[in-house]
Amino acid sequence: MTNVAVVYYSSTGNVHKMAEAAAAEAEKAGAAVRLRRVAELAPQSAIDRNEAWAAHVAATRDVPEATLEDLDWADAVLFGTPTRFGLPAAQLKQFLDTTGGLWFQGKLVNKVVSSFTSSNNTHAGQESTILALNNTFYHWGAVIVPAGFADPVQFERANGNPYGASSVTDNVPGNVHPDNLAAIAYQTRRVVEIAKVLGAALPA
């Protein structure tokens, strides 16, 4: 069985909604799945000043926190993050910065990886956020799987990002367009399919 980890950061729920869709689709594709959120780094005072942020933190308290063991276990990992000035959120970046030990042992080589993101408005850094994440994966020696234009869903009105599924939320919590959910589902199926093929081809 292919092991898939969906590792994400979400402040008000948009990326979380996409992550849940990815986890559900991976299970449908026959994978063993772990849905994991990375640790929150923002001070509680900042969270409390944003009603939607505080509500989301409370609502997802029971989602297990990501650990390095989740990456070691996984054959494929989908990473989700909101875009922050065209870059991944600090919370996800901090988690990635703890992977040096796994990297040094060669345990991240040939992991199948793919990313998705969300921003408040169009042209707000979705593509650059995913490209920035890829810099880490090059160092890992991972196999990066982009969404591409390999499925008709990518040509739907709200899609069109070949780097990875992305959502434009208009600053509304949990506002993920159905086209974007279909896009992350397609991207997940693609990741699982390639992970299965790669796993069968590589020596144990």
What is the mean pLDDT of each successive set of 10 residues along the chain, which is 204 residues long? 97 95 98 98 93 92 97 98 95 97 97 95 89 97 96 85 91 87 96 94 80
> Which two tokens mark 96?
């990635």
Instruction: Return the pLDDT at 22.
Output: 98
Q: Residue 125: give the domain boundaries.
A: 3-201
What is the count of structural domains for the chain?
Answer: 1
Q: Tell me 75's DSSP state.
A: S
Among 70, 78, 173, residue whose Cα is nearest residue 116: 78
Q: What is the CATH number of the domain that holds 174?
A: 3.40.50.360
Instruction: Return the pLDDT at 37.
Output: 98
Instruction: Return the pLDDT at 51.
Output: 92
Instruction: Return the pLDDT at 174.
Output: 81
The Cα 48–Cα 29 span in angstroms is: 38
Instruction: Return the pLDDT at 120.
Output: 84
Instruction: Return the pLDDT at 94.
Output: 97
Beta bridge partners of 80: 8, 116
Instruction: Return the pLDDT at 96.
Output: 98
